[in-house]
Structure 1
Amino acid sequence: MAIHLKSQSSPESQMFPQRPQFSAFMKPCRFEGEVNNLEVKGTIPPEIDGTFYRVMPDPQLPPRIEDDPWFNGDGNISTFRIKDSHCHFKQRYVRTEKFLKERAAQKALFGKYRNRFTDAIEFQIRSTANTNVLYFNGRLLACKEDSPPYSLDPDTLETYGIEDFHGQLPSLTFTAHPKLDQATGDLVCFGYEARGDGTPDVCYFVVSPEGVVKETVWLVSPVVGMIHDFAVTENWVLFPMIPLTCDIERLKAGGEHWQWDPETPFYIGVIPRHGATAASAKWFCAPNAFPGHIVNAYENDAGGIIVDLPLTDRNVFFWWPDAKGHAPDPRTIQARLVRYTFDPRSDTLDLPEPEVLVKEDCEFPRIDDRVSMKKHTKCFFDKMDPSLGTDFAVVMANVGGGHPLYNSLGILDYTTGAVATYFPGATHMVQEPVFISRPGDAPEGDGWLMVLVNNYATMSSELHIVDTRDTSKAQAVVYLPIRLRAGLHGNWVDAKDMKPPKLAAKE
């Protein structure tokens, strides 16, 4: 039986709640279709040949929960196919169980974010498939970290169904940030709350290029906390835990899945990448903090681990406060890009003080994927620099709410410490960038940044393409005839890497 929710929207309402997360630029898009030959200002470099995939939480129907967080929307995938300096756009929802049942009912049936006890009906797979989309073994994987991924056709965006790798998926959950080993083609994965809601279990596993699951290891985390992203080096795997914790009794009572815990340390779990057991896991810790998305991790000459990530001293997901209802003012939340260097073999589990690499508020870091799991010398990220000339009056009047604001892209050169900046315009905010390397044996970081940009003056979306050799201006701006609300993650796939799926090896 579903729990009665005082905050439930009227079942007769066909209007989205008058809340910031459903208003202005964050008003749900709900578009499916395609538009070929988008308008382009400037010239898209003819060398670029591939597809940019991104996904946004985009509710198809008004939610049951009046103050539903924007993270709870249906996964709507956008593609930007670029070839011969032309750009073609396509968008389609992932046909999850939730999406199909709600479309048939013509009303929302999902309850609170990651709380099945508040649903109107029972779902076998409770997923929105709205957090990341990546290409692997001839298919797209639409990922939401509380469930298995959904598999889609990379061209048509047709949903094939749940991707369990032919029944091999060992965990009930699957990370939104699997890591592709460029040398082997392995997809390195994990799931947390891997045995179900409120469980401390973490399952690490690897999927071969042929789709064979191997290297499965089960761990128990010190608390039931959020592990959104993780890091992989040649010999180690790292699990940074955000101090947002889950309690199953709170869920059964109709509460929130996540609650900020200011007393929980910032943990980084570490296991050997190969041959690990539950006993080999170590949980290093630092003072309470919110770790952001991983830049990259690698090993130094002494066998130590180096890992870079944005870090802030307060709860970024302020809509999930602590037990006393305390949450930070979102205007005070700023993450600095930091570097931790530590010995994974040490018996001392206190992490050293991190080195600050970038002091400006930043997030959504990316690297040249060719150096993933190896030493990197360039990093690309979103940042907020109020001195650049943003017209905050226009932006704040039209922004809606819930998602972070970044007015520029940064490129950190580790060899010099310099940060190059791309500023898209006074009424613009950027989403997560992707990097496209120049064809051939180009040096690390030599290529283009591609980023979806919100234009709050026109209330429309633009795709900006910036040459990393010259960030003073965009080489091309692609104009969409529609507005795409804030997304979470996406990836670039070169046309040369789009191949038919490999068959799983027979056992």
Structure 2
Amino acid sequence: MTIGNLASTPRTAALSSQAALRQYVSLEREYDYIVDEMDGAVPEGLLGTLFRIGPGKFEMGESRLHTIFEGDGMVSRFIFDGTQNIRYTNRYVRTDQFRKGLSNGRLPEHGPENPVKGRKLQTLTRLRNVANTNIIPLAGEMLACWEFGNPHRMDPDTLETLGAEDFDGALGYLGAFSAHPKWDAETGEMFNFGLDFLPTPRLRCYRKTPTGKVEQINSVTLWDMGWNHDFALTKKYLVFLLDPFRIPNPIKLARTGSLAKALKYQFEDTYSKIVLVPRDGSRPRIIDYDAQLHIHMTNAYEDGSDTVFEFPRYTDVDSFSSIRLTTTGPTQGGPLANIMRWPTSHLVRLRVSPSGRVTEEVLTPDNAIEFPQFDWRRSNLRHTVTYSTASRVKDVSHYDGIGKFDHAKETATFWHRDDWAFGEPLFVPRSKIGAEDDGWLLTLSQNLLTHRSQLSIFDARDVEVGPICTLYLKHHVPVGFHGTFTSRVAMPQGLRG
């Protein structure tokens, strides 16, 4: 693996802890305007709509949240209509919990970390749905997704919340529908899963049929009550890698009411499970493998009779304990736990044979990388290029750049800027038949010194050159998670200001 352009911008002085915490400052206003500050030019041919989502507000009434994962979901939208006049709009998902939070002075429902006094057993039934993790297109609408509950339908033009979606009762007891659905690039079918804790811990696997109906195609019982965030899809299987996250003491969960505190990574005498769930509904295959630690998957495919999948793996299982949390000071409004150190990671591909033999290929050297992306036209097929957020500095609270990993050429290139906190880079192809890097990368970041955010557009062929266009917003956008680019150009009404 050849490493190139690790230092595309000069190193700046270390950011203060106060500056780093600006990622977690609430955005109290909803905007709608034409971006009037830009470096470079929007490339010709970039046509469509970018949707991003993440936690936008870290308070519920008068209560300060404990973690970033429970903030109310806020959508950011950029419209590319073929001109240089890019329209930006942000809008909160109007969940029931968001509306209650506007009127109540305390937390109205339970969250994974924040138990409501007197109602701790709610953790075992329903959690506060904040709809903040991913936003996807479906049937002419957008779905704001959160893995412990129903997705919320949104109008792509008005960003109006249309209500929670249960797909005509198809979802399980908790209504869980993960934030990482996958599509078959050829058939257009969508697959997803939901994680249930009661009455029996299980993964429920779903398929959206060509007629638009969502149906359960399989389920996998999890007697040890594990947790899983993502999966991958091949032509034959839904592919899960279940790391040893466990709830070793359900009594503690019931007593404390905190799912986050009860969920533990088992460091000793443990293993991960590779679960291959056939798309045709037949019996799943479960293979025990060495303990892994990951959050997201990149892609998966069938190679002859083998199943191959890729993911960023944290390089040392013990490194999980090095993820440190800090609590904001009085100037940030109270206790909010933030990740202050991400462990190093690298891209790995695991190959599973029909006999259950597992072999692994390490694709990249150790680096701090996450939020893997690729050309989604290669979904379920072998891909040769992976993109991700990246950091060149250890012990930092944010990813200060993006990376491109060309597996065919065995090269890795990066572009960094120390004072910018980068989000997931999305690849947009230039045409329907172009190469995997013939297109653009779009990534939303925040300047931690100026407390403003910007959308950067990279030529995916030359990431190390830096952005070919940067659109500067008038304000910051808090830390985000995932998003989608659609070829459809949203058509909102007049500017709201």
Given the two structures, how large is their TM-score scaled by the length of structure 1?
0.81
Choose the corresponding residue for 2:434, options 442, 446, 454. 442
Deviation at 1:414, TM superposition (A): 1.2
The 5-angstrom pairing of residues 213-232 of structure 1 reads 213-214=214-215, 216-221=217-222, 223-232=224-233
C-alpha RMSD of the superposition: 3.0
Distance 1:111 1:171, change over 3 A: closer
User: What is aligned with 1:300?
Assistant: 303
Query: Partner of 1:454: helix, strand, or coil?
Result: strand
The residue identity in structure 1 corresponding to 2:320 is: N
The range that moved more, 25-34 or 39-48, is 25-34
Mapped to 1, the partners of 2:30 and 2:190 lie a distance apart of 30
**Does residue 342 of structure 2 align to residue 340 of structure 1?**
no
**Does residue 375 of structure 2 align to residue 372 of structure 1?**
no
Query: Partner of 2:54: helix, strand, or coil?
Result: strand
User: What is aligned with 1:178?
Assistant: 181
Query: Partner of 1:444: helix, strand, or coil?
Result: coil
Mapped to 1, the partners of 2:173 and 2:430 lie a distance apart of 38
Please say if residues 30 and 60 of structure 1, whose CA atoms lie closer than 8 Å, have aligned partners that are also in contact: no
Deviations 1:359-415 (A, max 9, x none): 32211110100011101011111111249xxxx9xxx7xxxxxxx521221111111
The residue identity in structure 2 corresponding to 1:261 is: Q
Mapped to 2, the partners of 1:440 and 1:261 lie a distance apart of 45
Please say if residues 115 and 251 of structure 1, whose CA atoms lie closer than 8 Å, have aligned partners that are also in contact: no
Please say if residues 323 and 341 of structure 2, whose CA atoms lie closer than 8 Å, have aligned partners that are also in contact: no
User: What is aligned with 1:271?
Assistant: 277
Query: Partner of 1:99: helix, strand, or coil?
Result: helix
Deviation at 1:213, TM superposition (A): 1.9
Query: Partner of 1:44: helix, strand, or coil?
Result: coil
The range that moved more, 201-210 or 226-235, is 201-210
The residue identity in structure 2 corresponding to 1:461 is: S
User: What is aligned with 1:143?
Assistant: 145
Deviation at 1:473, TM superposition (A): 2.4
The residue identity in structure 2 corresponding to 1:487 is: G
**Does residue 411 of structure 2 align to residue 405 of structure 1?**
no
Deviations 1:249-298 (A, max 9, x none): 22211153122322342222122221323xx33143212x3113111111
User: What is aligned with 2:3?
Assistant: none
The 5-angstrom pairing of residues 276-287 of structure 1 reads 276-277=282-283, 280-287=284-291
Deviations 1:150-180 (A, max 9, x none): 1111111111111112333345311110002
Deviation at 1:116, TM superposition (A): 6.2
The 5-angstrom pairing of residues 248-259 of structure 1 reads 248-257=250-259, 258-259=263-264
Deviation at 1:55, TM superposition (A): 0.9
Mapped to 1, the partners of 2:152 and 2:64 lie a distance apart of 27
User: What is aligned with 1:238?
Assistant: 239
Query: Partner of 1:495: helix, strand, or coil?
Result: coil
**Does residue 484 of structure 2 align to residue 478 of structure 1?**
no
Given the two structures, how large is their TM-score scaled by the length of structure 2?
0.83
The residue identity in structure 1 corresponding to 2:90 is: Q
Query: Partner of 1:71: helix, strand, or coil?
Result: helix
Query: Partner of 2:359: helix, strand, or coil?
Result: coil
The residue identity in structure 2 corresponding to 1:341 is: R
**Does residue 443 of structure 2 align to residue 451 of structure 1?**
yes
Please say if residues 97 and 126 of structure 1, whose CA atoms lie closer than 8 Å, have aligned partners that are also in contact: no
Distance 1:308 1:63, change over 3 A: farther
Deviations 1:286-344 (A, max 9, x none): 12x3113111111112x1111111111232794699xxxxxxx954711111111121x
User: What is aligned with 2:73?
Assistant: 75
Mapped to 2, the partners of 1:451 and 1:440 lie a distance apart of 21
Mapped to 1, the partners of 2:310 and 2:487 lie a distance apart of 26
User: What is aligned with 1:100?
Assistant: 99
Query: Partner of 2:100: helix, strand, or coil?
Result: helix
Deviation at 1:488, TM superposition (A): 1.0
Mapped to 2, the partners of 1:115 and 1:23 lie a distance apart of 20
Deviation at 1:111, TM superposition (A): 4.3
User: What is aligned with 1:462?
Assistant: 454
**Does residue 283 of structure 2 align to residue 290 of structure 1?**
no
Deviation at 1:102, TM superposition (A): 1.8
The residue identity in structure 1 corresponding to 2:273 is: Y
Please say if residues 26 and 485 of structure 1, whose CA atoms lie closer than 8 Å, have aligned partners that are also in contact: yes
The residue identity in structure 1 corresponding to 2:140 is: G
The residue identity in structure 1 corresponding to 2:67 is: P
Bigger relative contact order, structure 1 or 2, given CA contacts below 8 A and separation 6+?
Answer: 2
Mapped to 2, the partners of 1:93 and 1:208 lie a distance apart of 30
Query: Partner of 1:291: helix, strand, or coil?
Result: coil
The residue identity in structure 1 corresponding to 2:438 is: D
Distance 1:433 1:268, change over 3 A: same
Deviation at 1:48, TM superposition (A): 0.8
User: What is aligned with 2:170?
Assistant: 168
Distance 1:31 1:259, change over 3 A: farther
Deviation at 1:222, TM superposition (A): 5.0
User: What is aligned with 1:58?
Assistant: 56
Unaligned runs of 5+ in 1: 1-18, 322-328, 397-403, 499-507
Deviation at 1:347, TM superposition (A): 4.8
Distance 1:283 1:330, change over 3 A: farther
